[in-house]
């Protein structure tokens, strides 16, 4: 019993060890960019907390700060900062504790390490001399979270721009448990969902250009990391348009939310940073330059916040790149490569294993010799051939060569076919079968496990192929998913795209799903093919 238990424990431990990269990828695909780049790396994402009130202090920001004499130093800092601040919208006691932790973390980087080992009075004097009002205000600003609204801009199809709402005078008609507090360059929406679940900000505005030419709306805002849902409604020319989906108040950095109606941009391969507006019926707003904008902030539950965070990077990935176009191209190449490889390799292996013809041994030796030639040696000559044929920037170089066979697959099939009893072939000849009928009706059904192995290898090689598209393709519309993710990584480096490592991990995980499915559903055929290959009798 103990031996079995030990074996199971080792198997589970080994499975977790080898599954760790996949677990890390799955966890990273759900994280925000700040979690990925944080100094405190974690395998699993932070729990999203849909706060009831905002503004608030982020009590998780400095919760894990560590250092010499931490508790004593934080107590000293709390004494020093008492009475130095009095925020009206947060709890003073909670603010004092969090600010003390933040100041302690700042002082760890500015005060020499040996100073922390001095006497209590000396440490107290050192801390008191390092604390300034500017440091307190800086830490408080870092801790404070608030939903901040800036300017609202409109752009026409003729590239005319209007500032519908100025940042220095943010005025909206607010309904629900909230109020706007104007600041020098923005306004804070201070809300309390304990007395209501919906907050609406609305305003009727006038554009300098005909509203029928309105193409895009952009709202500058800073979320408060509460994961509540923000939805936009636009009313113009007697019609009402609503956003296809909500924007969640994730993270706490300034962002630009963009909405626009259906256009030719939707079919392009460039990064899509906008949310579509869809027709939702009639409206009473009919003026030629009149538009009514409504922002609705809906309270999100804890489960809704988790679902929003899990789906966020995947949704952005599907928006930013033509994901399904890449998948379709990849599947097209997989199908053609499977057909070409299975047909050509099985036919060549049958000829090498079951037919007698002059020079068979020499040709088979030459075939095996091609396995010893590195791919890098034939890469340039093959590219020149494809270019002369006019196949550059087409998909033909990525699938035509599969119809000329693969040395490894031919060798694998030949070894299996040599083990098929001659009596089956002789009986088929007595019944009048020719070479092709014996190949089709006798040999192929017998080598089905090995064909399954070759199909798995071909699928993996084609689905994960990066070098082929890199060499032969320049049109992004022809990219398979493997190379499309690389193009997305390059595009994400452009400023203003908001794309990051989490989105790249989400796309990579989506790419891995077919491979994982193949492993679970085809492992029986794989093991059977490997076991039976080369067996005699």
Kindly give the confidence (pLDDT) of every residue in the chain, 537 residues in length, as a single tens digit, with 9 standing for 90 and above. Answer: 888 899 999 999 988 888 888 888 889 999 988 888 877 777 789 999 999 999 999 988 888 888 888 888 888 888 888 766 655 556 667 788 888 889 988 888 888 888 888 887 888 888 888 888 888 888 888 999 999 999 999 999 988 999 999 989 999 999 999 999 999 899 999 999 998 999 999 999 999 999 999 999 999 999 999 999 999 999 999 999 999 999 999 989 999 999 998 888 887 777 788 999 999 999 999 999 999 999 999 999 999 999 999 999 999 888 888 888 999 999 999 999 999 999 999 999 999 999 989 999 999 999 999 999 988 899 999 999 999 999 999 999 999 999 999 999 999 999 889 888 888 888 888 888 888 899 998 899 988 888 988 998 999 999 999 999 999 999 888 999 989 888 887 766 655 555 678 888 898 898 888 888 887 777 776 665 555 544 444
Cβ atoms of residues 230 and 247 within 8 Å: yes
Cα separations in angstroms, 357 against 162, 363, 499 = 81, 10, 60
Check residue 494 and give its pLDDT: 58
Q: CA dist 364 to 126, 326, 353, 372, Å? A: 82, 38, 10, 13
Q: What element of type H or E holds 161?
A: strand 161-165
Tell me the two tokens of residue 88. 């009206």
Strand 275-282, strand 239-243: pairing? antiparallel
Q: Which residues lie across from 234 on neighbouring strands?
A: 241, 293
**pLDDT of 453:** 86
Q: Are 131 and 80 in contact (CB under 8 A)?
A: yes
Q: Model's pTM, two decimal places?
A: 0.84
d(Cα 451, Cα 525) in Å, to the nearest integer?
9
DSSP 441: I
pLDDT confidence of residue 316: 87
Q: Which residues of 156-169 are buried (b: 16+ CB within 10 A; e: fewer)?
A: beeeeebebbebee
Residue 534: the pLDDT is 45
The pLDDT, as a whole number, for residue 91 is 62
Distance CA 374, CA 144 (A): 59
Closest-CA residue to 72 (of 5, 118, 13, 114) = 118
H/E element, 64: none
Q: Which helix (H) or strand (E) holds 410?
A: helix 407-417
Q: Residue 464: what pLDDT?
A: 92
Q: What does the pLDDT read at residue 131? A: 87
pLDDT of res. 452? 87
What is the model's pLDDT at position 497? 53
Q: Are 226 and 51 in contact (CB under 8 A)?
A: yes
Assign residue 369 a region (left: φ > 0; alpha: ψ between -120 and 50; beta: otherwise). Answer: alpha
What is the rounded CA–CA span in Å between residue 522 and residue 453? Answer: 9
For 48, 57, 119, 120, 141, the CA distances from 101, given in Å and listed in that order, are: 22, 13, 21, 18, 14
pLDDT attached to residue 97 = 85
* Structural domains in the chain plus CATH codes: 56-143 (no CATH), 146-301 (2.60.120), 324-532 (1.10.3720.10)
């Amino acid at each position: 019993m103990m031996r079995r238990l030990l074996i199971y424990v080792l198997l589970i431990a080994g499975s977790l060890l080898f599954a760790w990269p996949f677990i890390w990828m799955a966890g990273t695909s759900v994280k925000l960019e700040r979690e990925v780049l944080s100094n405190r790396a974690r395998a699993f994402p932070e729990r999203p907390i849909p706060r009831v009130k905002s503004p608030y202090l982020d009590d998780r920001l400095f919760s894990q700060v560590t250092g010499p004499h931490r508790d004593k130093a934080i107590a000293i800092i709390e004494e020093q900062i008492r009475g130095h601040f009095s925020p009206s919208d947060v709890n003073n006691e909670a603010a004092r504790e969090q600010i003390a932790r933040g100041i302690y973390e700042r002082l760890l980087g500015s005060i020499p390490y040996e100073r922390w080992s001095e006497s209590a009075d000396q440490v107290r004097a050192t801390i008191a001399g390092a604390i300034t009002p500017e440091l307190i205000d800086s830490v408080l600003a870092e801790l404070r979270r608030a939903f901040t609204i800036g300017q609202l801009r409109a752009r026409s199809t003729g590239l005319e721009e209007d500032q519908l709402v100025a940042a220095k005078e943010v005025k909206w008609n607010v309904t629900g448990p909230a109020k706007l507090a104007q600041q020098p360059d923005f306004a804070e929406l201070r809300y309390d969902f304990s007395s209501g679940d919906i907050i609406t900000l609305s305003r009727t505005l006038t554009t300098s250009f005909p509203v029928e030419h309105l193409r895009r709306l952009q709202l500058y805002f800073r979320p408060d990391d509460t994961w509540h849902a923000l939805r936009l409604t636009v009313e113009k020319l007697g019609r009402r348009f609503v956003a296809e989906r909500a924007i969640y108040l994730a993270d706490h950095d300034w962002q630009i939310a963009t909405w626009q109606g259906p256009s030719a941009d939707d079919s392009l391969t460039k990064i899509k940073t906008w949310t579509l507006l869809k027709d939702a019926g009639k409206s009473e707003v009919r003026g030629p330059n009149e538009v009514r904008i409504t922002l609705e902030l809906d309270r999100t539950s804890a489960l809704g916040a988790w679902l929003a965070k899990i789906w966020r990077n995947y949704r952005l990935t599907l928006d930013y790149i033509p994901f399904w176009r890449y998948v379709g191209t990849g599947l097209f190449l997989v199908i053609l490569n499977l057909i070409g490889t299975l047909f050509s390799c099985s036919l060549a292996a049958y000829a090498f294993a079951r037919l007698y013809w002059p020079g068979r041994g020499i040709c088979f030796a030459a075939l095996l010799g091609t396995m010893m030639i590195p791919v890098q040696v034939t890469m340039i000559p093959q590219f020149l051939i494809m270019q002369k044929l006019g196949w550059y920037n087409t998909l033909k170089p990525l699938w035509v060569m599969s119809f000329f066979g693969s040395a490894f697959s031919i060798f694998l099939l030949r070894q299996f076919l040599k083990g098929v009893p001659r009596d089956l072939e002789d009986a088929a000849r007595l019944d009048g079968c020719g070479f092709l009928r014996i190949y089709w009706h006798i040999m192929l059904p017998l080598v089905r496990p090995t064909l399954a192995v070759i199909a798995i290898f071909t699928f993996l090689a084609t689905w994960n192929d990066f070098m082929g598209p890199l060499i032969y393709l320049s049109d992004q519309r022809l990219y398979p998913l493997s190379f499309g993710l690389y193009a997305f990584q390059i595009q994400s480096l452009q400023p203003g795209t908001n794309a990051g490592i989490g989105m790249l991990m989400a796309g990579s995980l989506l790419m891995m799903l077919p491979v994982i499915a193949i492993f679970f559903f085809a492992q029986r055929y794989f093991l059977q093919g490997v076991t039976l290959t080369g067996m005699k009798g």
